[in-house]
Amino acid sequence: MKKTGAVILILFLFLFALPLLILLLSSFSQGSMLNLLQGKGGLTLEQYQAALESEEILLRFKNSAVISAATLTVQLPVSLLGGFYLVKQRKRRAAAIRFFLTVLLLLPFQSIMVPVFRLSKWTGLYDSQMAVILPQAFSALGPLAVWLLVSSLPEEQWEAAQLDTASHLTIYARVILPQLAQGLCAVGLLCFAEVWNLVEQPLILLSDETLLPASLSLNDLELKNTGPYAGAALYSAPVLLLYAASFLVIRPHLQK
Amino acid sequence: MKNTKRQTWEIRAAGAACLPGFALCYLAPFCMTAWYAFIRSAFDHRFAGTDNFAYVLQNKYFILGSGNLLWLGGSMLLLAFALILLLAPLLLRHPGIAKPGAALLILPLLIPSISAATVWKMMFDVNSVFNPASCRVALTTLFVWKYAGIGAVLLWAELQKIPSEILDAAALDGAGKGRTYCFIQLPLAGKSLAVAGMVLLMFLLRVYKESYLLFGAYPSPDLYLLQHYMNHQYLKMNFQYVAAAAVLLTACALLLYAVGFLLMKKRKDAL
């Protein structure tokens, strides 16, 4: 019975890994993986070569990188400060703000699409990457995730540390956050994955095609005689690398 | 412990660094959406009462989109939930596979939708006019693949916390593994189940992203979702109808989330 369970679990895990394997194999084939399976040509770097030589693809990748880097530069400190505020603010006020942030996090972008568009027009940010960056930098995900992490630690830690310093922020930075380094890495990764995967916001706020990120427009780009798989694989690579790094490099280092 | 002056100042400074941003980027737009729902149009700000709501509730595309979101979304949620309920105990019973398995299950959540859509376009016929059935399967499987894994890992983490004494006592009383899972472990992990349900619902309301990448902005009526209706009305500059639809969607979503929260609270009180 236990063996059957293990087989079923492995089968499901294989199914979860299958799309990634297909993407990888397709990216090294001529056209798609089906050609590879039918014996039409062997493994080749043709698609990667075409993708890396395509100025359009590189531009979209650059746009994604710029939007992500700028967003995270603001979002991560804001998330840390927001988490601190939610933990230390008076309970009722913090609960009300948390409720509001949770509601915002759960609702689709369409709920605020029109006002965000109008605001971006009024402020002159429409059709600039800043229009996408700014709302994303204040996404509710970061502060709520940091609050969840910090509130999992016992209050006694704050009280004990207060014997050494009167500053809440010093305790937060030197005592609380270092204990949560792994969780904070996960929050950072989630924030990055979210901003790397933006579709609706650029669709509404950017009309200039040269400003669009690859997350929205990678499939629109035609590559001569090659498939779109290398571009898709390359676009997944930063998230996969960061995810792998969080397992292989960051975690053992932090545990020391 | 009461805060000193310095501590109060620090809390206020932290709030000042982030709250104006939230207010400007989310609170103001949220209030403006509610306002837009009650005016005649973006260019005529006279009070329209409930006319916009009456219009969208009678509009055939709104009804079509809502119906599809309900049925297609409902089937996606059910399938994802079934998979969560199946995978979590399997992970629990096979600790050797569980850790790498959990890492693999989280991975689809991080993969950009555009990359996933590229693979799905190869695996399925995504011409929504000629093959809507294949498109429905494509969207459903993409949703389940991308978001069920995180739910399974959440439930697995909660199941691990249940003391083994409880399970041993159930086994002594003659309860089989299936009964123990359904009547002891799942009720005890109710909070995680509710969280997983809410996370799935959140992603379901954002499924426009995957739908757009697979079928484009104008899918066939079989795959037309409420979010498509809102986007199309937005392109026609009918902001008042977008806002009215957004208010209705928000009300429904809040109702569902409130049910989830109440279930979680009830579970917490019962324990």
CATH number for A56-222: choose from 3.30.230.10, 1.10.3720.10, 3.40.980.10, 3.30.70.260: 1.10.3720.10
**Alpha-carbon gap, residue A3 to B179, rounded angstroms:** 20
Report the pLDDT value the prediction gives residue A47, as an integer from 0 to 100: 87
CB B199 within 8 A of CB A205: no
Report the pLDDT value the prediction gives residue B79, as an integer from 0 to 100: 96
DSSP letter for B218, please: S
Report the pLDDT value the prediction gives residue B269, as an integer from 0 to 100: 62
DSSP string, B244-262: HHHHHHHHHHHHHHHHHHH
Direct distance between the N- and C-terminal alpha carbons of chain B, in angstroms, rounded to an integer:
29
Q: Is residue B261 less than 8 Å (CB to CB) from chain A?
A: no
**Alpha-carbon gap, residue A221 to B197, rounded angstroms:** 36
Nearest alpha-carbon partner for A57 in A180, A187, A201, A212: A212
Nearest alpha-carbon partner for A133 in A183, A181, A78: A78
Mean pLDDT across the stretch B134-161?
94
Q: Is residue A97 less than 8 Å (CB to CB) from chain B?
A: yes
**Alpha-carbon gap, residue A133 to A128, rounded angstroms:** 9
Q: Is residue A144 less than 8 Å (CB to CB) from chain B?
A: no
Report the pLDDT value the prediction gives residue B271, as an integer from 0 to 100: 56
How close, in Å, is residue A218 to chain B by CA atoms? Answer: 7
Report the pLDDT value the prediction gives residue A225, as an integer from 0 to 100: 58
What value does the mean pLDDT of chain B take?
89
Q: Which of B14, B27, B93 sits opposite A84 (nearest CB)?
A: B14
Residue-by-residue pLDDT tens, chain A, 256 positions = 678 889 999 999 999 999 999 999 988 888 777 777 777 777 888 888 888 888 888 999 999 999 999 999 999 999 999 999 999 888 888 888 988 888 888 888 888 888 999 899 999 999 999 999 999 999 999 999 999 999 888 888 888 888 888 788 999 999 999 988 888 998 999 999 999 999 999 999 999 989 999 998 777 665 555 678 889 999 999 999 999 888 776 666 555 4
Q: Is residue A11 less than 8 Å (CB to CB) from chain B?
A: no
Using the Cα atoms of residue A22, residue A25, residue A27 and residue A29 in order, give the sign of their dihedral: negative
DSSP string, A233-251: HHHHHHHHHHHHHIIIIIH
Report the pLDDT value the prediction gives residue B267, as an integer from 0 to 100: 63
Mean pLDDT across the stretch B15-29?
91
Q: Where are the domains of chain A?
A: 56-222
Interface subset of B 142-171, CB within 8 angstroms of A:
145, 149
Pairwise CB contact (< 8 Å): A113 & B11: no
**Alpha-carbon gap, residue B112 to A195, rounded angstroms:** 10
Mean pLDDT across the stretch B48-54?
91
Q: What is the pLDDT of residues B216-271, one digit of tens each?
A: 888 999 999 999 999 999 888 888 999 999 999 888 888 887 887 777 777 666 55
Pairwise CB contact (< 8 Å): A13 & B253: no
Nearest alpha-carbon partner for B146 in B195, B218, B100, B83: B83
The larger pLDDT score, comparing residue B257 to residue B172, is at B172
Q: What is the pLDDT of residues B178-223, one digit of tens each?
A: 889 988 888 888 888 888 888 898 899 899 999 999 998 889 999 9
**Topology classification of domain B59-270:** MetI-like fold (1.10.3720)
CB B1 within 8 A of CB A162: yes
pLDDT tier at B6 (50, 70, 90 boundaries)?
confident
pTM equals: 0.91
**Alpha-carbon gap, residue B121 to B117, rounded angstroms:** 6
Pairwise CB contact (< 8 Å): A16 & B145: yes
* Residues on chain A touching B260 (C-beta within 8 angstroms): none
Q: Where are the domains of chain B?
A: 59-270
Report the pLDDT value the prediction gives residue B140, as an integer from 0 to 100: 96
* 3-class SS of residue B184: helix
Report the pLDDT value the prediction gives residue A1, as an integer from 0 to 100: 63
Report the pLDDT value the prediction gives residue A250, as an integer from 0 to 100: 61
* Residues on chain B touching A117 (C-beta within 8 angstroms): 234
Report the pLDDT value the prediction gives residue A223, as an integer from 0 to 100: 52
Interface subset of B 39-98, CB within 8 angstroms of A:
42, 83, 86-87, 90-91, 93-94, 97
